[in-house]
């Protein structure tokens, strides 16, 4: 039986058969370079192209809710043991807590060692507090209790219409569990979800063809609006942040990947199209549907992917955590304030909470920073104005680091759960993703994605 395009072999295999100019990663890379050049030489035109990037991101966000719901609900419904769901969630959250805390500590250590803000000697009274007032107000409104309550949607349908990831995830988990406990009565619903999944992922592939246009508009706006020269005065902070994030990915996540049985370089190569898209749009959400599909192609069971990836987008923000502690120390150093170790510890503890409470908020990185600085009265929140102009450039690095961190987390949790097909992972990392076995394709045609999830559970264990 011939493998079905996009499901059995996945987009990676199709990409390799295409000439270079028709491959998505080459198109996106070309668009990024062209957009940067246009924004630099024609800044007004580049700024005017902002709707292209915004429009593409909105198109992708439009499809995120159904992708998460269908993947998670059908995956859980195909699991014979509901205890596995709690096991996956618990292990994922434990992993997120450890890695996020480590990222905070690394950012703090680098900030103390490099001291990128030292010597600026800026008078806090000269800072423009109005420029960051909106972020500070949003941060003040955030609370852990409010965040938890906001996970619960008003209705089952409102979770889908409002597009809040954690609300969709909650409804999908409950729906999947309910279907699993009412089988075989729910088999008709599962068949319908399987057919809908095929349609939705086909739509994802259609939308991804617009990625070069979105990346072109987004990068043209960034360079046109802020200019490459805007990096000059604060180059030390930008360089320190990028190098710290790179070391975190290559060393910390590289070691995690090594012990989990894969190379971080191979994973980055496998996800190159998605990473270029994140780079161009400064949004990791733009590549969320593609990441979920790629992780299944790499051998991670559908139910694990459906739980870990969306949850990680709110709880596993490695790049954002590095940014928070590093930027906090930069601001303190720039205004001539030496924070005590107790104050720095308070920053880390509050950042661990605020990074979750501001998930999904527009400009989340800046909002989290405002919330974190508010616990140290000696550091003026108005100091955020110092980095407001370059935040857009650093948001790209935050998004890339967050994205890679969640890809690594998915493989690690799948391995812990015995839900990882090691042969498929090895083939994907080698650039030769394996087609699904014929029996899995037949099961997919008969029962939808949940059938593969159920079969994969038996095969993996």
- Distance from CA of residue 94 to its chain's centroid? 18
Q: What is the pLDDT of residue 412?
A: 95
pLDDT of residue 457: 32
Q: Where are the domains of the chain?
A: 10-460
Q: What are phi and psi of 153, to 5 degrees?
A: -75, 165
Q: How many CB atoms lie within 10 A of CB 20?
A: 8
Residue pLDDT tens, the chain, 461 long:
334 334 444 444 445 566 766 677 678 788 888 888 888 888 889 888 888 888 887 887 787 788 778 877 877 776 666 677 778 888 988 999 899 899 999 999 998 898 887 766 666 665 555 545 554 455 455 555 665 777 788 888 887 877 677 788 788 888 888 887 887 777 788 788 878 878 887 887 788 788 788 888 888 887 787 666 655 556 778 888 999 999 999 999 999 999 999 999 999 999 998 898 888 777 777 788 889 889 999 999 888 888 888 888 878 889 888 988 888 888 888 878 788 888 888 778 877 766 664 444 445 566 667 666 766 667 776 677 667 666 767 888 888 999 999 999 999 999 998 889 999 999 999 988 876 554 344 444 433 433 333 333 333 33
Extract long-range pairs of 156-165: CB within 8 Å, 24+ residues apart.
Answer: 159/65, 160/65, 160/66, 160/69, 163/61, 163/62, 163/64, 163/65, 164/360, 165/64, 165/65, 165/68, 165/310, 165/313, 165/314, 165/360
Q: What is the DSSP string of 57-104?
A: HHHHHHHHHHHHHHHHHHHHHT-S-THHHHHHHHHHHHHHHHHHHHHH
- At residue 40, the pLDDT reads 84
Say how many residues make up the chain. Answer: 461
Check: CB of residue 99 under 8 Å from CB of residue 404: no
Please identify which residue in the block is written with the tokens 């960051």: 132
Round to whole Å and give the CA distance between 328 and 64: 32
CA distances from 375 to 98, 355, 370, 380, 381 (A): 22, 14, 9, 10, 10
pLDDT at 356: 60
The closest of 320, 268, 346 to 99, measured between CA atoms, is 320
| Virtual torsion, Cα 274, 279, 283, 287, nearest 10 deg | -10
Q: Which residues contact 447 (CB under 8 A, 6 or more apart)?
A: 78, 187, 190, 191, 194, 454
Q: Which alpha helices (DSSP H) does 129-261 contain, by range? A: 133-141, 144-150, 156-162, 165-181, 187-208, 211-226, 235-247, 254-260
What's the confidence (pLDDT) of residue 160?
A: 80
Contact indicator for 270, 298 with CB cutoff of 8 Å: yes
Do 12 and 294 meet the contact criterion of CB atoms below 8 Å apart?
yes
Q: What confidence score (pLDDT) does residue 236 get?
A: 76
Pairwise CA distance, residues 313 & 365, whole Å: 13
Q: Does domain 10-460 have CATH number 1.10.3720.10?
A: no
Q: Can you tell me whether residue 264 is helix, strand or coil?
A: helix
Q: What is the pTM of this model?
A: 0.69
3-state SS, residue 116: coil
Q: Which residues have a Cβ under 8 Å from the Cβ of 311 and sit 6 or more positions away?
A: 89, 92, 93, 96, 166, 169
* Contact (CB, 8 A) for 118 and 373: no
Token readout for 192 is: 């319908």
Token digits of residue 51: 């709707």
- Using CA atoms, how far residue 343 sits from 273, 340, 378, in Å, is 41, 5, 10
**Eight-class DSSP state of 249:** I
Q: Cβ distance 309 to 288 under 8 Å?
A: yes
Output phi, psi for 377, to 5 deg. Answer: -55, -25
Distance CA 250, CA 401 (A): 10
**Closest listed residue to residue 289, CA positions, set 130, 277, 20:** 277
Q: What pLDDT sits at residue 127?
A: 55
The whole-number pLDDT of residue 1 equals: 33
Q: Do 246 and 110 touch, CB atoms closer than 8 A?
A: no
What's the confidence (pLDDT) of residue 387?
73
pLDDT of residue 120: 67
């Amino acid at each position: 039986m011939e493998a079905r395009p996009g499901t059995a072999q996945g987009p990676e295999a199709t990409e390799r058969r295409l000439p270079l100019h028709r491959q998505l990663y080459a198109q996106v890379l070309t668009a990024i370079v062209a957009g940067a050049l246009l924004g630099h030489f024609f800044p007004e035109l580049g700024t005017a192209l902002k709707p292209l990037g915004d429009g593409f991101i909105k198109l992708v966000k439009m499809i995120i809710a159904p992708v998460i719901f269908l993947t998670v609900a059908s995956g859980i419904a195909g699991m014979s043991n509901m205890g596995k769901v709690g096991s996956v969630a618990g292990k994922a959250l434990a992993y997120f807590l450890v890695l996020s805390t480590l990222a905070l500590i690394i950012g703090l250590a680098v900030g103390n060692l490099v001291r990128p803000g030292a010597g600026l000697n800026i008078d806090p009274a000269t800072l423009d507090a109005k420029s960051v007032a909106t972020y500070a107000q949003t941060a003040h409104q955030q609370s852990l209790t409010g965040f938890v309550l906001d996970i619960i949607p008003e209705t089952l349908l409102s979770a889908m219409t409002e597009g809040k990831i954690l609300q969709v995830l909650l409804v999908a988990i409950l729906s999947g569990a309910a279907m699993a406990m009412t089988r075989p009565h729910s088999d008709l619903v599962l068949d319908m979800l399987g057919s809908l999944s095929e349609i939705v992922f086909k739509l994802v592939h259609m939308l991804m063809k617009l990625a070069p246009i979105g990346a072109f508009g987004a990068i043209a706006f960034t360079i046109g609006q802020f200019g490459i020269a805007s990096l000059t005065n604060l180059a030390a902070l930008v360089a320190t942040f990028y190098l710290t994030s790179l070391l975190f990915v290559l060393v910390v996540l590289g070691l995690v990947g090594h012990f989990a049985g894969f190379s971080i370089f191979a994973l980055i190569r496998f996800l190159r199209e998605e990473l270029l898209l994140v780079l161009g749009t400064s949004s990791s959400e733009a590549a969320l549907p593609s990441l979920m599909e790629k992780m299944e192609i790499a051998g991670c069971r559908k139910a694990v992917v459906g739980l870990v990836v969306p949850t990680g987008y709110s709880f596993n923000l490695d790049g954002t955590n590095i940014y928070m502690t590093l930027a906090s120390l930069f601001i303190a150093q720039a205004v001539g304030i030496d924070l005590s170790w107790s104050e720095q510890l308070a920053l880390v503890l509050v950042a661990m909470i605020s990074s979750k409470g501001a998930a999904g908020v527009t400009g989340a990185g800046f909002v989290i920073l405002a919330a974190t600085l508010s616990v140290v009265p000696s550091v003026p929140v108005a100091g955020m104005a110092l980095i407001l102009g370059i935040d857009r450039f650093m948001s790209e690095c935050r998004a890339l680091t967050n994205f890679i961190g969640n890809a690594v987390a998915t493989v690690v949790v799948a391995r812990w759960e015995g839900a990882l097909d090691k042969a498929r992972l090895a083939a994907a990392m080698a650039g030769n993703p394996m087609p699904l076995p014929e029996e899995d394709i037949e099961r997919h045609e008969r029962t939808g994605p949940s059938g593969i999830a159920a079969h994969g559970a038996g095969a993996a264990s």
